[in-house]
Amino acid sequence: MRISITNFTKTFGDTTVIKDMSLEIESGEMLALLGPSGCGKSTTLFSICGIHRMNAGRLRFGDKDVTKRPPQERNVGVVFQNYALYPHMDVHANIAFPLKVRKEPRAEIDRKVLEIAALVHIEELLQRKPSQLSGGQQQRVALARALVRKPDILLLDEPLANLDAKLRLEMRSEIRRIQQQTGITAVLVTHDQVEAMSMCDRIALMNKGDIVQVCKPKEMYDNPASDFVAGFLGNPPIAFLDGIANDGEIRLANSEVALRLPSNVIDLSNGTQLRLGIRPEFFQPENDMKVTGKVSFVETQGREDLFDVTLTNGAVLRSIQSRGGDIKLGDEVTWGISREHILAFGPGGERL
Amino acid sequence: MKHNFRNWPVLLVLFIFSLPLLIMLTFLVVDTFTTKVPGTLVPNAFTLHHFRFLWTDLDDGRWGIYGVTLNTFIFAASTAAVVTAISVMAGYALSRLSFPARGFFLGSLIVLHAFPTVTLIIAIFLILQILGLYNTLIGVIIVKTALELPFGIWVMKGFYDTVPWEIEMAGVQDGASRFTVWWKLILPQVQPGLMAILIFSFLSGWSEFVLPMVLNPGTDAQVLSTYLATLLLDTNTNSDFNLISAVGLFYALPVVIIYLIFQNKLMNIYGGGTKG
Ligand SMILES: Nc1ncnc2c1ncn2[C@@H]1O[C@H](COP(=O)(O)OP(=O)(O)OP(=O)(O)O)[C@@H](O)[C@H]1O
Ligand SMILES: [Mg+2]
């Protein structure tokens, strides 16, 4: 079911957490709400499901205006970060609870519980108490409980945050599989860009209560709307060079180094403040626009090596290369930037 | 089981310090079941004579022990029931709901809990007289309940505080009303606290002495503690300390039994909250 949020504002006491936010989530789509800690992701999520009341704005599910509806009437399934399983009930009772509340007949309840348990692969755990389950299993139970009454919308608040690295990988694809199999509209809150990029159809990137950009993961990576977006996506992160435009070149701050600007911003007027973003994969030995600097940091990541190169003016460029060369800390290197892959930002951080 | 420290020295110290108490208790039990020649310490014969109050009325025609016991039970049980019922609801409200003057309520709870209640007794006495509840069991029950409540509410609030907020929200999201959430999801998790309050206030009511003595001094609705006190002062029985000991033993027995059965639950009050 389609979710549309218009001009949503949320305040706690005197602090405004979300201001005038609008967001459309398509039916059947899985959208990630991505952003740094404290930017209002959970607040948005809890407003969608009705736990928080919206101070202003409208929320519609399909054509239905649910802004003023209590959570019980919204038919939204929520998976909480700590799963919030009912500790005194066994798994079967946990999953059955939403159905029991609706006073469905017993046989019907049992049938649905078994069906959903099969979907999330926990058939053999139904008699256990939550405390007898591993983190991943609890996660599956929480998913089953959220999905069992066929909600219109599924909301997940950092569902993978409490799992270890290997399990996270597994549950990532599991949640995606279940979402696609049920065709449910889902919103996933996360501060992990990899999670957002790998699991979701689209990403809404938030900063300080605002949505900065909404689009497909790849597009957001290739075409960030601002330096904040560019800096948030990508691991190892993008490196920035500050400088001033001068005859189709950029003169880096505090140095004599000048670099040709990418062709889309080549005719900037002289004296414009500029910020260039260069991703590590586009700073490589074989590229043609050379800069010289000292290797100030080396990290071996197994398949690849990560280098920080400090330029003469103190700015740092990052490079990621498949293993091979024997470059050591302190070596002077002259590597090239791929000119057409440079991202240029204006003084306010907006994309040029 | 292996301990990471040796516990016999601790046990020894505890034993030595408890010894006077143990000796007194032993003599209490021994005295009530035996006779002895005046002036000696060693008993010479077994007897149930001191427990005669269990099967005959005492000579002065006062209420039999069972009536008094029933009164005590009614007093303790209704206090416990009301205290528990109110604490369970008020504790939830204080822990979860934001309402005007919440901070004031929390503060006064602590003050009331620490307040020396004896200082209130004159005022209570006057109020009960005006209300016509002086010298009735109901009056004492009301007063005792009111005095026990701050503690009960405070403990229950502590238990509610340990229940994660998300569980409640998950319940609401699953379509349950706030009441269903409280009844089906939250209450089971504070059940140890509920049990502890129930038992604790029952025991406290059972052993209450000052309130019934001051507010219910008549003989119509005596409780065991005041009954025991009148026995002590009574000229008909005042030489029969063994009878008084036997009544005392009878009075203390339920307390001991309840403690033995529920000691784990009572410890919860101090542990606060549950695991798993
Ligand atoms: N009940 C509340 N009262 C006051 N302020 C709140 C409340 N809940 C959240 N906030 C504030 O709102 C802001 C956004 O909180 P929110 O929980 O939505 O962040 P988040 O994006 O989910 O962060 P995280 O990734 O750390 O979970 C924070 O600055 C937080 O301090
Ligand atoms: Mg959050």
Both A181 and A146 in one domain: the answer is: yes
pLDDT value, residue B275: 41
A46 alpha carbon, closest ligand: 1
Alpha-carbon distance of A185 to B65, in angstroms, equals 71
- Tokens 């310490």 map to which residue? B41
Q: Is residue A44 part of a domain?
A: yes
The full 3-state SS of chain B, as one line of letters, equals CCCCCCCHHHHHHHHHHHHHHHHHHHHHHHHHHEECCCCCCCCCEECCHHHHHHCCCCCCCCCCHHHHHHHHHHHHHHHHHHHHHHHHHHHHHHHHCCCCCHHHHHHHHHHHHHCCHHHHHHHHHHHHHHHCCCCCHHHHHHHHHHHHHHHHHHHHHHHHHCCCHHHHHHHHHCCCCHHHHHHHHHHHHCHHHHHHHHHHHHHHHHCCCHHHHHHCCCCCCCCHHHHHHHHHHCCCCCCCHHHHHHHHHHHHHHHHHHHHHHHHHHHHHHHCCCCC
Q: Is residue A233 part of a domain?
A: no
Residue A320 has what DSSP assignment? Answer: E
Residues of chain B with CATH 1.10.3720.10: 64-272
pLDDT value, residue A97: 95
pLDDT band at B236 (very low <50, low <70, confident <90, very high): low
Both A143 and A20 in one domain: the answer is: yes
Q: What is the CATH number of the domain that holds A111?
A: 3.40.50.300
Contact A293, A283 (CB under 8 A): no
Tell which of A175, A195, A226 closes a domain.
Answer: A226
How far from B154 is each of A350, B120, B151, B188, CA to CA, in Å? 55, 21, 5, 18
B173 touches chain A (CB under 8 A): yes
How far from A69 is each of A8, A51, A54, CA to CA, in Å? 15, 10, 11
Both A213 and A305 in one domain: the answer is: no
Verify whether ligand 1 is closer than 6 Å to residue A14 (CB atom): no
pLDDT band at B276 (very low <50, low <70, confident <90, very high): very low
Query: Is B86's pLDDT higher than 60?
Result: yes
Q: Compute the average pLDDT of residues B139-160.
A: 91
CA B191 to chain centre: 18
Q: Is residue A232 part of a domain?
A: no
Q: Compute the average pLDDT of residues B158-170.
A: 92
pLDDT value, residue B273: 44
pLDDT band at B163 (very low <50, low <70, confident <90, very high): very high
pLDDT in tens, B174-193: 999 999 999 999 999 998 89
Both A258 and A184 in one domain: the answer is: no
Residues 108 to 137 of A: which have CB under 8 A from any B CB? Answer: 129, 131
Q: Looking at the 3D structure of chain A, how many domains does it have? A: 2
Contact residues on chain A for B185, CB-CB shorter than 8 A: 86
A10, A21, A39, A44: residue to mutate for ligand 1 pocket, most atoms within 8 A of CB: A39
- A258 beta partners: A251
pLDDT in tens, A82-115: 889 999 999 999 999 999 999 999 999 999 999 9
pLDDT value, residue B270: 60
Q: Which phi and psi (to 5°) does residue A58 adopt?
A: -130, 145
Given strand A202-207, what is the order of strands in its sheet?
A: A76-79, A153-157, A185-190, A30-34, A202-207, A210-215
- Tokens 């007794």 map to which residue? B121
Both A39 and A113 in one domain: the answer is: yes
pLDDT band at A31 (very low <50, low <70, confident <90, very high): very high
| CB nearest to B167's CB, from A72, A84, A149 | A84
User: What's the whole-number average pLDDT of chain A?
Assistant: 89
Contact B43, B35 (CB under 8 A): yes
Measure A259 CA to ligand 1 centroid, in angstroms: 42
How far from A71 is each of A25, A77, A184, A259, CA to CA, in Å? 19, 10, 18, 56
Report every protein residue that has its C-beta within 5 angstroms of ion ligand 2.
A 42
- A310 beta partners: A294, A316
pLDDT band at A272 (very low <50, low <70, confident <90, very high): confident
| CA atoms lying within 13 Å on the CB side of residue A285 | 10
Between A125 and B65, residue with greater pLDDT: A125
Query: Is B5's pLDDT higher than 70?
Result: no
- Tokens 């330096």 map to which residue? A227
**What are the tokens at B247?**
């009544």
Contact B83, B201 (CB under 8 A): yes
Of ligand 1's listed atoms, the one at least distance from the Cα of A209 is: 14
Both A190 and A303 in one domain: the answer is: no
pLDDT band at B216 (very low <50, low <70, confident <90, very high): confident
- Highest average pLDDT, of A27-41, A255-269, B95-109, comes from A27-41
Alpha-carbon distance of B59 to B42, in angstroms, equals 29
pLDDT band at B168 (very low <50, low <70, confident <90, very high): very high
pLDDT value, residue A161: 84
Given strand A343-345, what is the order of strands in its sheet?
A: A258-260, A249-252, A239-246, A273-278, A343-345
Q: Is residue A231 part of a domain?
A: no
Residue A351 has what DSSP assignment? Answer: B
Alpha-carbon distance of B163 to B174, in angstroms, equals 18
Both A16 and A101 in one domain: the answer is: yes
Interface contact flag, A72 B176, Cβ < 8 Å: yes
Which of A52-56, A252-256, B197-201 shows the lowest per-residue confidence on average (mean pLDDT)?
A: A252-256
Residue burial A28-63, b: 16+ Cβ < 10 Å; e: rest: ebbbbbbbeeebbbbbbbbbbbbbbebeebebbbee
Contact A349, A227 (CB under 8 A): yes
**What are the tokens at A312?**
């003469």
pLDDT band at B274 (very low <50, low <70, confident <90, very high): very low
Alpha-carbon distance of A92 to A159, in angstroms, equals 21
Both A191 and A303 in one domain: the answer is: no
Both A7 and A138 in one domain: the answer is: yes
- B45 beta partners: B35
pLDDT in tens, A148-191: 988 999 999 988 888 888 888 888 898 899 899 889 999 999 98
Alpha-carbon distance of A238 to A220, in angstroms, equals 13
Query: Is A147's pLDDT higher than 60?
Result: yes
Interface predicted TM-score of the whole assembly (ipTM), two decimals = 0.80
- Please tell me the total number of residues recorded for chain A in this structure: 352
Both A173 and A54 in one domain: the answer is: yes
Alpha-carbon distance of B150 to A347, in angstroms, equals 61
- Highest average pLDDT, of A314-318, B51-55, B86-90, B246-250, comes from B86-90
Alpha-carbon distance of B167 to A84, in angstroms, equals 5
CB within 8 A of A70, min separation 6: which ones? A50
Contact residues on chain B for A82, CB-CB shorter than 8 A: 164, 166
pLDDT value, residue B269: 63
Measure A37 CA to ligand 1 centroid, in angstroms: 8
CATH pick for B64-272 out of 3.90.76.10, 1.20.1440.230, 1.10.3720.10, 2.60.40.420: 1.10.3720.10
Verify whether ligand 1 is closer than 6 Å to residue A17 (CB atom): yes
| Domain of residue A290, residue span | 239-345
Verify whether ligand 1 is closer than 6 Å to residue A190 (CB atom): no
Residue from A101, A103, A150, A189 whose CB has the most chain B CBs within 10 Å, to mutate:
A101
Query: Is A43's pLDDT higher than 60?
Result: yes
**What are the tokens at A69?**
């509806």
The shortest C-alpha distance from A103 to chain B (Å) reads 11
Both A203 and A317 in one domain: the answer is: no
**What are the tokens at A272?**
């414009």
Q: What is the CATH number of the domain that holds A264?
A: 2.40.50.140
pLDDT band at B248 (very low <50, low <70, confident <90, very high): confident
Residue A327 has what DSSP assignment? Answer: -
pLDDT value, residue B230: 81
Q: Is residue A142 part of a domain?
A: yes
pLDDT band at B59 (very low <50, low <70, confident <90, very high): low
Nearest CA to ligand 1 atom 29: A38
pLDDT value, residue B117: 76
Both A96 and A34 in one domain: the answer is: yes
B276 touches chain A (CB under 8 A): yes
